[in-house]
Amino acid sequence: MKTRIPILLTGCLAAIYLATGCATDQSKTAALASCCATNLQPTAAPVPALTGKSIYQLDSTWTTDTGQPFKLATLRGRPQIVAMIFTWCSNACPITVSDMKRIDAALPEALRAQVGFTLVSFDPARDTTAALHAYRLRRTLDPARWTLLRGEPPDVAELAARLGMKYRDGARGQFSHSNLITVLDSGGEIVHQQIGLNQNIEETVNLVQRIAAR
């Protein structure tokens, strides 16, 4: 009597044998690749957690000039140049926005898409969404890169405190306020502040270029 020698097939080879029977070596190779291949695609790098210094830790909900709800953390991922203004200001605020536009114009073309600009009104009573949108059109602020926001007075006060921005409702409805442009890194931390109007923008531009190029 002939002795039968068992043939043990393990893992993917057993699967190939049972599935394909007398398949050619080429089809076996393909099945083996399908069965046993390891996923070699790289995983995305984890996004670093926000630190306690990040402005984006504020959980307040804002409204854009198109009436959409907005969280500050939405700005995360690229440097932001931020200022607080009121749109009907006829003196300092227009110069602040012009200074921001000068910074934008001084950036290399290749980096501009990697930098955002944010204006936040500290007069939400009069700066409605319609007023903000009209201001965007009047100042030709690109919606792909400029964010215009309004919020509830307590949220405005909290953000102003975090930015070191001071404002006060004065006579005849005019505000007295700081003239301040703040640079945030991609995680929402303050890395630079430009104080005053019509200042030399070279330091600000150089810093923004460095953090945008990281």
DSSP state of 168: E
Give the three-class secondary structure for 29.
Answer: helix
The CA distance from 62 to 71, in Å, is 6
Q: pTM of this prediction? A: 0.77
On whether both 64 and 170 belong to a single domain, the answer is yes
Domain count for the chain: 2
The pLDDT, as a whole number, for residue 170 is 67
On whether both 103 and 171 belong to a single domain, the answer is yes
Q: How many CB atoms lie within 10 A of CB 66?
A: 12
Q: Is 48 exposed, middle or buried (0-12, 13-18, 19+ CB in 10 A)?
A: exposed
Closest CA to 65 of 163, 146, 123, 167: 146
On whether both 31 and 81 belong to a single domain, the answer is no
Closest CA to 35 of 54, 59, 9, 53: 9
Confirm whether 48 is domain-assigned.
no
* Domain span including residue 34: 8-42
On whether both 99 and 19 belong to a single domain, the answer is no
Query: Residue 91: left if φ>0, alpha if ψ -120 to 50, beta else—which one?
Result: alpha
Give me 87's structure tokens: 């749109």
On whether both 93 and 15 belong to a single domain, the answer is no
On whether both 121 and 186 belong to a single domain, the answer is yes
CATH, residue 170 = 3.40.30.10
On whether both 110 and 69 belong to a single domain, the answer is yes
Q: How many CB atoms lie within 10 A of CB 32?
A: 15
On whether both 92 and 23 belong to a single domain, the answer is no
Q: What angle do CA 149, 154, 160 make, to 5 degrees?
A: 65
Confirm whether 1 is domain-assigned.
no
Residue type, 44: A
Confirm whether 50 is domain-assigned.
no
Q: What is the pLDDT along the chain (214 residues), one digit of tens a residue?
A: 444 434 333 443 333 333 444 344 444 444 434 443 334 444 444 556 888 899 999 999 999 999 999 999 999 999 999 999 999 998 899 999 999 999 999 999 999 999 999 999 999 999 999 999 999 999 999 999 999 999 999 999 999 999 999 998 866 667 889 999 999 999 999 999 999 999 999 999 999 999 998 8
The pLDDT, as a whole number, for residue 49 is 83
The pLDDT, as a whole number, for residue 52 is 85
